[in-house]
Amino acid sequence: MKRFYLMLGVLTLALGVMLVYLLKTNPSAPRAANQAPTAVVDDGFRGYTLGSDSAPVEVTEYGDFECPACASFAVVQMPTIKEQLIATGKVRWRYRDYPLPMHPSSRVAAHAAQCAGEQGGGGKFWEMHDQLFMNHSWAQTGKNPTGLFRDLARAAGLDVGRYDACLESGRYAARIEVSRQEGEQRLVNGTPTFFINGTMYTGKNNSDAFKAAIDSAAAARRR
């Protein structure tokens, strides 16, 4: 009987150690950052932008960081769009969060980008935006990705202590939800969805199609 209780004690201790290890290696995502807030206060923020404020055309993208189609667009099409349309002064590009309910980590990913922007403005937001999409395997593993996000924050040169505090507090939960509600009011029903000078874009999501649509929008403004 003593041997039984000894073995039971050893097993209990081993299970406890394993539980602590699992919690440390795969901690839960911060609740405040990964849920829609119960009360939403609009802080007036309307998304980070790329490009000149005097560009004749503005594209607003509603995206979800966990969305595979968004990742494909960001990695494959966006570099050409940046080079041909944004850097040349033709377009100002605005990113708005539209976390989809079927994606369990989309809000915390949006929060990671917002917390990066808190420390370095648009430059750090876009750096985190790009890294979240370029390292998109996190969206397929089913595991909590906040450890990876923290590594990306460190690689971006962020103050990790400030980043952790931002994520834990869910500081931008209302901002992200306001953005989602805005998209819903504009009849966004999937990601990525784009608006060109306020009109929903229904063409193909490739750089050539965007160039044609943007040239057309710019010509319309000159008339």
> What domains appear along the chain, each with residue ranges and CATH number?
31-222 (3.40.30.10)
**Residue 19 binned pLDDT confidence (cut-offs 50, 70, 90):** very low
Q: Which pair of structure tokens corresponds to residue 136? A: 């998109």
- Angle at Cα 179 formed by Cα 174 and Cα 184, nearest 5°? 120
**Neighbour-count burial of 21, counting CB atoms closer than 10 A to its CB (0-12 exposed, 13-18 middle, 19+ buried):** exposed
**Residue 21 binned pLDDT confidence (cut-offs 50, 70, 90):** very low
State the Cα–Cα distance between residues 169 and 111, nearest whole angstrom: 10
pLDDT tens-digit map of 146-170 = 999 999 999 999 999 999 999 999 9
Mean pLDDT of the region 178-190: 97
48 forms beta bridges with 95
Q: Which pair of structure tokens corresponds to residue 17? A: 């150690």
